[in-house]
Structure formats: C-alpha cells, structure tokens
Structure 1
Amino acid sequence: MMRRMGEGVLMIVVLVLVCGLGVKGDASDHRYKEGEHVPLYANKVGPFHNPSETYRYYDLPFCAPDNVADKKEALGEILNGDRLVDAPYELNFREDKQSKSICKKTLSKEDVAKLRDAVAKDYYFQMYYDDLPLWGFLGKFDKDKIDPTEYKYLLFKHIHFDVAYNDDRVIEINVQTDNNLAVDITEDKEVNVEFSYSVTWKKTDIPFEKRMEKYSKSSSMPQHLEIHWFSIINSCVTVLLLTGFLATILMRVLKNDFIKYSHDDEALEDQEETGWKYIHGDVFRFPKHKSLFSAVIGSGTQLLALAIFIFLLALVGVFYPYNRGALFTALVVIYALTSGIAGYTATSFYLQLEGTNWVRNLLLTGFLFCGPLFLTFSFLNTVAIAYSATAALPFGTILVIILIWTLVTAPLLVLGGVAGKNGKTEFQAPCRTTKYPREIPQLPWYRGTIPQMAMAGFLPFSAIYIELYYIFASVWGHKIYTIYSILFIVFIILIIVTAFITVALTYFQLAVEDHEWWWRSVLCGGSTGIFIFCYCLYYYHARSDMSGFMQTSFFFGYMACVCYGFFLMLGTVGFRASLLFVRHIYRSIKCE
C-alpha cells in the first residue's frame, strides 16, 4: 500500500512539474513559415497601479471572435491570475497589414461609462504573441484644452504591431497607439467605433535564444547594478562589524569568564555567585509550550529549505522573465515535497524535549503555517470573486491544491514524523538541570522582550532593505527582477546577521542570569519579519500608487503571510545558532 501511495505521489509531482515549469506556446518549436498563423492570446486588463486587480480581456466591450477559446493553462499560470483567450487580431508570420478592421461596434451608454472608468484608472491590456509579452493602454485622459477644469477621455481604436523576426522565428514585438486615431468617450452617449489594427514586420539579427534578454535589461542597467552592489557592500559591512563585535565577546569576555570560572580558589568561593555560569542548572530547562515551540522549529526549517531550493532553481535559470507561473508552481511543489522535513524536525525535537503527544504536535506543525495561509487565501479569494477578478481561483484549481496537500504534503509530513519518532535521540545538555527553577533577578526595561526584539530585527533588516524595494517593485509592480545571484548573496548575509545578533543577545541575557532564552531567541531571530511588515506599510503609502479595497487587502493579506513565514524561518535560524552557542560555552566550563 505504501508503494502505491508513493507511486501516486510521484505521478502528481511529475505532472505538476511538467505542466507548470515548462510553459510553451501552441507551436512547440516556435518556427513558422511565411503566412502561417502565430498564436496570439489576450490575457487580462486592469488598473496599471493595481497589479492584483486584473480582469478578463472580454469583460470590457471589445470586439470578440464568434467562438472565444480559452487556452489550457498550467497550475502556476492560474495562480498568477493569467486567463488567456484568443485575441481578435490576426498576425500571420511576415504578413504586413496596413489597416485592417476588426469590427464596427456601437457602444451603449453603459459601455461608454465602463470604458471611461477604465481609461480614468489607467487600464492596460496584456497579451502574449508566440509567448512574448506585450502591453498597451486602452486610452488616455487629460485636461480639456478649452476648459482646464474638465477632463477629456480618449479610447484608442487602432493598434499598430511592430514585429521583428530572424529567419523563421519571432524575436520581438511592440505595440503602438495613436492619439489621432482615438474616439472621444467623455460624454454619456452612444458612440460608433470601428476598431482596427496594422502590422509591420522587420528583420533582425538577434538570435532566438536571446529574445527574452530585453525584458531583463532594465534590472541589469549600470545605475541599478551600482545600487545593488551598494546594497551588498552595506550588508557586508554590517556583517563585518557584527562579526568583529561577536569576536570581541567570544575572544575577550568569554575567555575571561572561562579563566574566572575554572579557578577553585577560596577567594572566589567567598564571592557572591553571579554571571552566566551560575544558572547552569536552569539554562537547559525545557521551554513552556514545548509542542508549539517544536512546531515553530519544524515549520521554520521547512521554509528555510524551501527558500534554498527556490534560490537554486533561480540560479540555474528556471525563472527567466515571463516564464508564466513557474515560480508559483515551484513554490507549491517544493513546499509539498519539503513537508517531510517539517514533520521530522518537529517530532524529533518534541520528543527530545520529553513531549508525549507527538501526533498532536505533528498536526500543529502541519497547520502552523498552512492554517493562517489558508484562512487568508479564503478571504482574499472571496474578495476576488466579488470583484470578478482573475485572481479568483477556479474550483478545479482549488481542488488540485487540496489534492496536492492531501496526497503529497500530509503523507510526507506523517512519514517525516514517523521517521523522527523512530530516530529519537536524547537532548544533548552538557549540564544537569536542577529540580526547581532559579528566580530571575529584576532587570531594566531595555532588557525586556520587545526592546530586545527591536534591537535584534533592526540590523538584519538594515542589511536587506535596499534590495526589498526592487523585490516589491517586481512583485507588486511592473518591474522585472532577474539578478538572483545578488539576491542570494543578500539572503545568505541575512541568515548570518540574524544568527550573529541573536547569539550576542542570548549571551547578554544569560550574563544577567535570565535563563529563559529559548523563546527569546526565536522571537529575536524572527523579529526581522515584523520590520519587513512595517516596510510594507511604508511602501504602500510612500512608494506605490496602489488603491482600492481589493488591491489593499491582497497586498497586506499576502505580505502578512510572507512576513509570518520570515518570522518562522529566521526565528528558527536564531534559535539554532543560540543553541549551538549555549551548548559550547557550558561545555567549556566545570559545572557541579
């Protein structure tokens, strides 16, 4: 039975990977003969400043073919909000057209009002021609020349396509609109419009393999690269300063502590016991809420593995510009496959902490991140349905995700938990824990949890905040981010800085005889996620033009889930680093 279940899991994973990561057009080899039909799909329309608020192309009163055929899409494309349909234009290979009419249409008052609202909100359309993306605006609005207090709304009725080819392949496509070929839709009245288009083909020497490079050039321009490298230098300086700071602690302070605690002089025995050595009987006392603690460590380890695998795929070139849905497909598949890591880590650590109900702990691990994500998705999908937006997932896609969770994620989580239970090991504590906990002395306010979290989160955030703008502009805007090597370096720096600053704060906490460091290390390590969410507030109000309930709810809803994921991941990093440090220093002294 286990063999059949494993075969079923493998088949689902292979199907998702094949369908999601290898998105191709109808013409699989992208080679065409003169006059041959080249696939052109209309994707979506929406306000330019609200990337999540997109609608189907034919939701607006455009000229539609008699039989509108939807393109069969992969999982990642649907998650990305793509809804490709046959476009009303016919761009046959190397076939110029001067001006061809699509249709003559009488726009009713309701149609005019809908289009005027779309023009006022800077609606754009997106299409794909032989898998090459192209965009254009529906119209423009400007102040009336006669009466500056009034606005004039123009709808573009003619589109010109410039297409470049090399031998038998399409290399580039651009769209142009002409203000002189526009119709005035300012007034609420019926308008007769003849929609038309023209096509011009030209030869180019750009090879087919490099036709996507123009979409990534903006992020590779010298001025942007300088900013990226400045970000890395800034992060490296932060790491060096922090490393030097920690080295001072480890080499000088700890060395003096080791010498002091190694002496057995009577003079030392008469002194009052203070410092981190004298809480050795409490420092390895297991934390409260050990089931939740283990679930946090398990989920954080899974998310760290997920991030590393995504970076590896990015570095080998899987996520090239406009590989539609590849990132979303990879996220779904890799998260499902790494659930075994969460199950194993959480169960193994929970049993080390002498937990008894490992099944409940496994359920908590499975829902710790997926639960809030599912609730957020349910609310946002309902909002998208109310707006009739393409961000609303069809029932079939939701069913596929549920099946992946049921047939892949849950079984691997259970298998990981069983493996963690069978491979149970004892918690390695160099000191024996006393029966009764030592009282924690009264500490000043700045040694409290919240001030320590603020200090712990600021340094890692300062190492990544420059890069955050480019990521946000790519995810919540129309910029393209392709410099994954730099992003990976910044990610590694983030992990290092988080580990170092958490270790430093853990030492300061132990030095004042506060032995409750377990949860504190998680909270301090994960506090960068809170800083990132604060940056979301700044970005939304100061750096973007997003507006409306749907876009606002999508931005803050999904960014809250992302920041929560960062909290779990970096909290795990902080705890693991602190645990190694605490074990090392207490192993280096004599404890009675």
Structure 2
Amino acid sequence: MKCSRSAGLLVLAASFNISLAFYLPGAAPHNFKQGDPVPLFVNALTPMLTGSSTAKLKSLINYDYYNPRFHFCEPTPGGPVKQPESLGSILFGDRIFNSPYDIKMLEHNSSCQTLCLQSNVSAEDAKFINDRIRDDYALNWLIDGLPAAELKIDSRGDYFYDLGFNLGNDEGPFKDTTPALNNHYDIVLQYHSPTPGNYRVVGVLVWPSSIGGSQQDTPTCDTDNSHPLVLSEQQTNSIRYTYRVTWNESDTPWATRWDSYLKVLDPRIHWFSLINSSFIVIFLCVMVSMILIRSVSRDISRYNAIDLSEDVQEDWGWKLVHAEVFRTPSYPMILSVMSGNGAQLCAMLAVTMVFALLGFLSPSNRGSLATVMMVFWSLFGCIGGYISSRVYASLGGTERRKNVFMTATILPTVIFTIVFLLNLFLLGAGSSGAVPFGTMLLIVLMWFGLNGPLCAIGAYIGSKQGSVAHPVRVHQIPRQIPPGPRYLQPWAAALLSGILPFGAAFVELYFVLSSLFASRAYYAFGFLALTACIVGLTTATVTILFTYFILCAEEYRWHWRAFLTGGGSAFWLLAYGLFFWASRLSLHSLSSAILYLGYLLLLVLLHFLITGTIGFLASYWAVRRLYSSIRID
C-alpha cells in the first residue's frame, strides 16, 4: 500500500458502490432444479481472527482439508478429487477438493445424517487437532462458488457473513484446557427462485457444534443436551461426523448475493481516514505552492533581471549548483533499473485498481486479483524497459544491453528467491500453502519468457527516443559541497518525508494487512484507490519539497536522495508491520514468524520501489522545470 475535487470524489464513490454489488462480468448463474445435487467443496483450513478486539492471530500455516492427521471424512469411491484452480488461487493457498456431503436442492435433511465414523484417531493426531483448535483454525467450504460463513453482528447491529467457521471451541470452560472438536454441522442454505422451477444458491451458513458421549450409538444431533467432544491426548479416540441441511427462501437476487460477504465493517473509519488524508494533501499542496511558486518565482525574476552587461553576477541558493545538478550520480545503472521496475509496478497497480473498481475482480472468481496482478506485471515489462532505458541514457549511461538485462531479471530474481525460501518453510511445516513446483515453473516462464522480451522492446523504443534534454550544462570539475543541516541528511530526510504519506494510508493499511495475513475478506477498493492516489500525490509533493531544500543547501546529489526520500514511507510501513505483529499476532512457531517477516519485507521492498520511483521522477520533472526557467550565462 496507492481534480475538480467534488466531481472526482463523486465518480470514485459511485465506482466504489458499484464494485460492491457488481458481479464478475461473463459469469453465468447456475440454475438448479428441485432434487438436483448441490456439490459441497472443501478448501484448506486457515487460522482466523475471532471477533474479540483482543484476539490475536496465532499462526500463518494453512493445512489441506484432507490432511490425514485431521481424519475428516473422505468421499467414496475414489477418494478426494482436486478441483482446477487459477494461478492466483494457488498462490494464496487455496486447495479445493470434493466432499462426501449429500445435498440436494430443496430436500430438507432435517433428520440427523451421519457422514462417517472415524474410530482410529491416535493420541498424537488428537494432540495435533487440539493444537489447531487452540490456534483458532477455521474450516472453509464452497457451495456454488459461495464460501460457507457464520452469521455475525457488527458494531452497528447489522448482520454480515464472516467467512469460515471454527474447527473447534477453546473458549469458556475449555480455555487453557483440552478444547472441544466440532463434529456436527447445521448447514442452512438460502435460495432464490428467479423463475418457477429454477433455483439459485444465494447464501451458505454453517453452525458447528460439538457432540460428545459415545460415538458408536445412534446419532441424534441433539446439540442442546449433549456434552462436547473432547479428544484425549493419551489414547485412541473415535469421532462421528454428522450434519443437517435446511433450505430457506431468500429475497436476495443472485447478482447481489455477495453483498453480505463483502460488507465493509464500519465504513466511518474508512471515510475518516480518507478525509484526514485529503486534508493532508491539501495542506501539502498549499505549502508547496507557497514555497515553490512564491519563492522560486521571486528567485527566477531576480536572476533574470540581472543586467548581463555587469561584470559581476552573484549567484546564490539553488542557482549556485546549476552546473552540477545534472551531473551523473553514483551507480546510475542501479538507479535506472529501480526506476524502471518501480514504474512497471505503478502501472500494474493502476490498471489492477481500475479493474477492481469496475467489478471485474469479484472474489467469486477465486484468485482473480493475484492472477491479474501477475499477468499485468509481466505485460508491463515494456513500460519498465522504456523508463529504465531513458533514465539510464539521461544519467549518462552507455551499457544499454546490461541495463535491459538487469531491468528484466533483477527484481523477479529477488522476489523468486524470497518466495522460494519461504516456500521451503511452508513445506517443512506441512502447509497446503506451499506453492507446487509446476506453478513456480509457470511463474518463472511468465517473468523471464514474457516480461524479458517485452522489457527489451520497451528499452529499444526508449533508446530510439534518447536521453532527456537538460537545460544546463555540467562543468567538468565537481563543485565542493558544504555541510548541510542534519534534517536534510539522507536517512533523516527519508524518515521525515515518509511520515505524511504513511499518515495518509495507515488506517487503510490495517485492513489490508488483516486481509493478507488473517484471511479477512477485503473489497473496499473504492477507499483503497482514493488512498493510493492520495499517497502518490503526497509522495511526489513531499519529495519535490525536500529536493528544493537540498538544492538550496548547495547539495547537488539529489538523484538518490529523491528516490530515498520518496520511498521513506516504506520504513514506516516496516515499523507498522512490526507493530501489527505485536498487537494482532501471537505466532507460536518459528515457521509462522519467518513467513510473516518474509512477506512483510517483500511488501516493504515493493512499496519502496513504487514510492521511490514516484518521488524520483517527480523531482526530475521539477528540477528540469526549475532550471529551464532561468538564464544561465
């Protein structure tokens, strides 16, 4: 994490409202007849945040539903059959299989149905299950593309669907003791009839319960007058899984069936964050206008009013470094590569956000968001190559082939290395979230087989256009740089400049991190798009301001400083990520801790590249405009 003002806000707000109700274009509803089988698919078990404000996420490891240590009932004959998934779905840990549940449209199984009896659950497996219950793991089912959910009430008293339902219960009398396993499920399916004889699934609710006692007797599914099922960690256990199905008619049409799932909890927080961020941007724009328009315009008029016939012409302030300001910086290759990769990521995020606002990335199409981001990142390699080649040429670079190669390979290689190492920890923990080898090979082919050639094409176009023309010449002998104030030192300036962009986004950042790490549904793309625009504008404005300050301090090495200043909010993102860990996570395993730190560092790296590129390119534009407005003798 990202105008006529009132008109722009109205358009984006309308886009946000449309995105909540708009279904994935091209997707067709599935009409069932009475008695038609309604398949229930199972997904991976994921750790979840409970409703308590003090609850903490205890793990980041997902598990296959049919992991043999859980002893869930498997379909017969043939066993579980894996369902096809998209690239993004696989990357986010979805592992979908069929199930043995027998559900038919409008057939009420009000009687107790036995799914299976597992009579050989060892003590070791019982401990494994109990540990997952203590870690608040949730089961994830899918019926007609809708996830199973629990019905909950938000702070305003409105009902919403919370994705997934608990594997077991360790609250109340079971807290700090052996928890209870939920082995009975009351499944309530909501349907809508658009035409007589045709029925569509519009809601899936599950109430899990724990029924103990003898697992060999005839089941009654009496959840009110039974003791919970507590698995012994000293002996072999038996588990009988039962369920009941109830059909309820609903007025909710198929096109808006996701509204209850995608409810924005307390939108006042989002609006407060957005209004607060808007005031920050307005304040910055006013401040920069006062400094740059008044001060710079006065300086320019002052310089241009000097009589050229005078023998002595005194320079001061930023004009003193006019012969140094476009001197080639240190490591121009690395700077241009980072700028190209940052521009590529910016383009990918912008287009993805537009698709999300228009409703094309509905969560009904699982993994579509991640898939679109991966595809557009590869396709926009031409933008990365173009920006990198032009920046490199403008900085005086001559090794253009090396520049193309590094632009196309360095960032994908770094990301692949980090993901590969994290994948080893997932494999070691037995997690279903481990990316299969075939999927990783496909990603490598996309990055290097598609992104590479497109990057070369973009670089070729950029090299044909050549370098950006500079308004002043560079002296052969570098000018001595006087000591500057401490607040303009590189790291101090980066931290100071990063406060405002981070302050504009930190509220929305909480919801994004909760979605990424706590399996929370996030679909407030309207708020996210506005926040991203504000962060981008704030980053550009602050970086231009600090660049002007360092030029006034006769520090002409502004290139790297502009990139570092623009990316300063990434350091605050890292600090906030560690705070989020301390306040909302309670990770017990080393694998979960390493996974969180690894993914957080990956987010910080990408954020630094995006905001650093925005700051650098904005400063480059401002410096050229500044020095092209005065006469240089």
Please report the TM-score for the alignment, with normalisation by the length of structure 2. 0.85
Is this contact kept in 2: 1:258–1:588, CA < 8 A? yes
Is this contact kept in 2: 1:440–1:513, CA < 8 A? yes
**Structure-to-structure mapping, 1:107-146, within 5 angstroms:** 107-134=121-148, 135-142=164-171, 144=173
| Richer in helix (by share) | 1
Q: Which amino acid aligns with 1:115?
A: I
> CA, structure 1 residues 128+143, in 2 after alignment: closer, same or farther (shift >3 Å)?
closer
- Per the alignment, in what secondary structure is the counterpart of residue 216 of structure 1? coil
Aligned to 2:112: 99
Q: Which amino acid aligns with 2:142?
A: Y
1:170 is matched with which residue: 180, 201, 221?
A: 201
- Per the alignment, in what secondary structure is the counterpart of residue 572 of structure 2? helix
Q: Which amino acid aligns with 1:227?
A: I
Query: Quick check: 428-437 or 113-122, which moved more?
Result: 113-122
Deviation at 1:247, TM superposition (A): 1.1
**Structure 2 Cα separation of the partners of residues 143 and 235 of structure 1:** 42
Alignment of 1:578 onto 2:619: yes
- Per the alignment, in what secondary structure is the counterpart of residue 209 of structure 1? helix
CA offsets 1:74-106 (integer angstroms, 9 cap, x no match): 212111211111123111111111111112221
- Per the alignment, in what secondary structure is the counterpart of residue 214 of structure 1? coil
Alignment of 1:53 onto 2:61: yes
Is this contact kept in 2: 1:140–1:154, CA < 8 A? yes
- Per the alignment, in what secondary structure is the counterpart of residue 58 of structure 1? coil
**Structure-to-structure mapping, 1:496-575, within 5 angstroms:** 496-575=537-616
**Structure 2 Cα separation of the partners of residues 466 and 438 of structure 1:** 45
Q: Which amino acid aligns with 1:70?
A: K
- Per the alignment, in what secondary structure is the counterpart of residue 44 of structure 1? coil
Aligned to 1:384: 426
Deviation at 1:187, TM superposition (A): 4.7
Identity, in percent, stands at 31
**Structure 2 Cα separation of the partners of residues 24 and 177 of structure 1:** 35
Is this contact kept in 2: 1:299–1:368, CA < 8 A? no
Aligned to 1:319: 361
Gaps of 5+ in 2: 1-22, 49-56, 149-163, 194-198, 212-222
Aligned to 1:87: 99
Is this contact kept in 1: 2:32–2:200, CA < 8 A? yes
Is this contact kept in 2: 1:296–1:368, CA < 8 A? no
Q: Which amino acid aligns with 1:406?
A: F
Q: Which amino acid aligns with 1:105?
A: Q
> CA, structure 1 residues 296+269, in 2 after alignment: closer, same or farther (shift >3 Å)?
farther
Deviation at 1:174, TM superposition (A): 0.5
**Structure 2 Cα separation of the partners of residues 560 and 571 of structure 1:** 16
Q: Which amino acid aligns with 1:65?
A: P
**Structure 1 Cα separation of the partners of residues 594 and 361 of structure 2:** 27
> CA, structure 1 residues 244+23, in 2 after alignment: closer, same or farther (shift >3 Å)?
closer
Aligned to 2:73: 63
Is this contact kept in 2: 1:23–1:323, CA < 8 A? no
- Per the alignment, in what secondary structure is the counterpart of residue 57 of structure 1? coil
Query: Quick check: 427-436 or 261-270, which moved more?
Result: 261-270
**Structure 2 Cα separation of the partners of residues 241 and 23 of structure 1:** 40
Aligned to 2:242: 196
Query: Quick check: 184-193 or 440-449, which moved more?
Result: 184-193
Aligned to 2:331: 289
**Structure 1 Cα separation of the partners of residues 71 and 575 of structure 2:** 41
> CA, structure 1 residues 589+45, in 2 after alignment: closer, same or farther (shift >3 Å)?
same
Deviation at 1:402, TM superposition (A): 2.0
1:154 is matched with which residue: 170, 173, 180?
A: 180
**Structure 2 Cα separation of the partners of residues 29 and 214 of structure 1:** 18
Deviation at 1:308, TM superposition (A): 0.4
Alignment of 1:481 onto 2:490: no
Q: Which amino acid aligns with 1:104?
A: L
**Structure-to-structure mapping, 1:81-480, within 5 angstroms:** 81-97=93-109, 98-106=111-119, 107-134=121-148, 135-142=164-171, 144=173, 151-167=177-193, 168-180=199-211, 181=223, 182-217=228-263, 219=264, 221=265, 224-264=266-306, 273-421=315-463, 423-480=464-521
Is this contact kept in 2: 1:143–1:152, CA < 8 A? no
**Structure 2 Cα separation of the partners of residues 164 and 352 of structure 1:** 62
**Structure 2 Cα separation of the partners of residues 375 and 80 of structure 1:** 18
**Structure 2 Cα separation of the partners of residues 440 and 510 of structure 1:** 11
CA offsets 1:100-132 (integer angstroms, 9 cap, x no match): 111222123233222222222222111101111
**Structure 2 Cα separation of the partners of residues 339 and 199 of structure 1:** 51
Is this contact kept in 2: 1:153–1:186, CA < 8 A? no
- Per the alignment, in what secondary structure is the counterpart of residue 124 of structure 1? strand
> CA, structure 1 residues 112+105, in 2 after alignment: closer, same or farther (shift >3 Å)?
same
Is this contact kept in 1: 2:470–2:624, CA < 8 A? yes
- Per the alignment, in what secondary structure is the counterpart of residue 179 of structure 2? strand
- Per the alignment, in what secondary structure is the counterpart of residue 140 of structure 2? strand
Is this contact kept in 2: 1:44–1:83, CA < 8 A? yes
> CA, structure 1 residues 88+418, in 2 after alignment: closer, same or farther (shift >3 Å)?
same
Q: Which amino acid aligns with 1:335?
A: W
Is this contact kept in 1: 2:29–2:200, CA < 8 A? no
Please report the TM-score for the alignment, with normalisation by the length of structure 1. 0.90
**Structure 2 Cα separation of the partners of residues 142 and 460 of structure 1:** 41
Aligned to 2:51: none
- Per the alignment, in what secondary structure is the counterpart of residue 34 of structure 1? coil
Is this contact kept in 2: 1:142–1:152, CA < 8 A? no
CA offsets 1:157-183 (integer angstroms, 9 cap, x no match): 211101111121111111112345532
Deviation at 1:353, TM superposition (A): 2.7
- Per the alignment, in what secondary structure is the counterpart of residue 269 of structure 2? helix
Aligned to 2:535: 494
**Structure 2 Cα separation of the partners of residues 271 and 406 of structure 1:** 55
**Structure 2 Cα separation of the partners of residues 209 and 29 of structure 1:** 8
**Structure 1 Cα separation of the partners of residues 274 and 47 of structure 2:** 34
Deviation at 1:513, TM superposition (A): 1.0
> CA, structure 1 residues 249+390, in 2 after alignment: closer, same or farther (shift >3 Å)?
same
Is this contact kept in 1: 2:379–2:454, CA < 8 A? yes
Deviation at 1:351, TM superposition (A): 2.3
Is this contact kept in 2: 1:77–1:325, CA < 8 A? yes
Is this contact kept in 2: 1:456–1:502, CA < 8 A? yes
- Per the alignment, in what secondary structure is the counterpart of residue 350 of structure 2? helix
Aligned to 1:42: 42
**Structure 1 Cα separation of the partners of residues 205 and 547 of structure 2:** 57
Q: Which amino acid aligns with 1:161?
A: I
Aligned length: 562
Aligned to 2:86: 74
**Structure 2 Cα separation of the partners of residues 157 and 339 of structure 1:** 51
> CA, structure 1 residues 163+430, in 2 after alignment: closer, same or farther (shift >3 Å)?
same
Is this contact kept in 1: 2:124–2:233, CA < 8 A? no
Is this contact kept in 2: 1:169–1:208, CA < 8 A? yes
**Structure 2 Cα separation of the partners of residues 241 and 440 of structure 1:** 32
C-alpha root-mean-square deviation of aligned residues, in Å? 2.3
**Structure 2 Cα separation of the partners of residues 164 and 144 of structure 1:** 33
**Structure 1 Cα separation of the partners of residues 567 and 384 of structure 2:** 17
Deviation at 1:354, TM superposition (A): 2.9
Deviation at 1:522, TM superposition (A): 0.7
**Structure 2 Cα separation of the partners of residues 268 and 245 of structure 1:** 36
